[in-house]
Structure 1
């Protein structure tokens, strides 16, 4: 957290293209953005983004009419294992824009709003690698990790040895939320937005999520 704050300060000072100064201004009050990226793989250095989706949340409303969706034509080859996950073939992304065209549009959509995600740091690292080349900065936005919010509501007071499951499906099930087709950037962003709002409500009302009494070993494995 401290490192990210220092990076933000450095990038704010060193920003060359002043047209992106808006990224460092606070977003509208009570607004955040849930977002998700689908990629050609899980290696931030070698793999590329193929789809990005983002949805604005204002107060307790998910503004699906105010959303960002883009298909990217990647530089990296589409591997068979990744195609099985997100079900997008090279032919499906061939008509997409280059990421250099999409990043500026994405930044203007999110502005300075906090970004909500599920393992959001991976998606942010993928965005950052393009931003550094294009603009010379990384995303300065505050980050909200829904798996962390879920952990606090369910496992924050768990004893040593408690079994911990932070999978997307477990979170949706515990919160009684609909499971849409996963590994679709828009669906994942929408489900993340629903998770965020429900967990935020739980926290505000002091509601905890019941957990099993089953334990295993002495350490809590991360799901």
Structure 2
């Protein structure tokens, strides 16, 4: 009941009624997998530099339905952060402004559940912008692939360590890596994780709301 109340309250807080469709019942067996590259790890003070997303439909990754955009930062990116996200100033020459990027992303996502690796961080980053532009945080359901993977690991005790690093999960699931890590490639690889794990974990245990 509380979840429904919060959802309805969020819907009433929309600044742009065009996005009421975000609250519609999602289509069955459709998801969006996304990843963001950012200037740092603080949703409060850091910025999104790029967004990659791909649609999953009926257990297929739709490679013709992808989103790959660079976002203009408000200030010059520093050398230390480049070591983390590997996005250079030259990569941002054709970047678009944050509002256009976020609205394009919202149109791409629609009301689909969002799949990701540590997706709460990406959603928190995106929500910082959506609150500014449409008045609300992302209302979509989220699916965390590292949690799905964790549920499939057999453990001898509750205290046994499970390595949840991205590259470890890819290796353990015997999935091919797509070269350098960027937002779109990471989204596609995460989609592969999701599809391989989806049949191994009960669907009702993989969905988390914001």
TM-score higher than 0.5 here?
Answer: yes
- Report the equivalent of 1:186: 184
Query: Quick check: 1:43 aligned with 2:17?
Result: no
The equivalent of 1:112 in structure 2 is: 111
* Structure 1: unaligned runs, 5 residues or longer: 205-223
TM-score by length of 1: 0.84
What is aligned with 2:160? Answer: 162
Q: Is the 8 A contact 1:33 1:114 kept in 2?
A: yes
Task: Name 1:221's counterpart in structure 2.
Answer: none
C-alpha contact 1:47 1:76 (8 A) present in aligned 2: no
2:32 matches 1:22: no
Provide structure 2 residue ranges, at least 5 long, that are not aligned to the other structure.
203-210
Contact 1:85 1:183 in 2 (8 A): no
Q: Which 10-residue stretch deviates more, 77-86 or 59-68?
A: 77-86
CA offsets 1:62-112 (integer angstroms, 9 cap, x no match): 001011111111114312222112221123213200111111111011100
Question: Does 1:197 pair with 2:195?
Answer: yes
Offset, 1:6: 4.8
Are 1:67 and 2:66 matched, yes or no? yes
Cα offsets for 1:33-76 (capped at 9, x unmatched) = 10000011111111111110110000110001011111111114
SS at match of 1:63: strand
TM-score, length-scaled by structure 2? 0.89
Count of equivalent residues: 202
1:11 paired with 2:7, answer no
When Rg is computed on C-alpha atoms for both structures, the one with the higher figure is 1
Q: 1: CA distance between counterparts of 2:3 and 2:76?
A: 31
**SS in structure 2 at match of 1:38:** strand
Deviation at 1:5, TM superposition (A): 5.6
Moved over 6 A (4+): none
- CA separation of 1:193 and 1:89: change in aligned 2, threshold 3 A: same
Structure 2 counterpart of 1:141? 140
1:24 and 1:59 mapped to 2: Cα distance? 21
Q: Is 1:132 paired with 2:131?
A: yes
The DSSP-based 3-state class of the residue aligned with 1:194 is helix
Cross-structure match for 1:79: 78
CA distance in 2: counterparts of 1:52 and 1:44, whole angstroms? 15
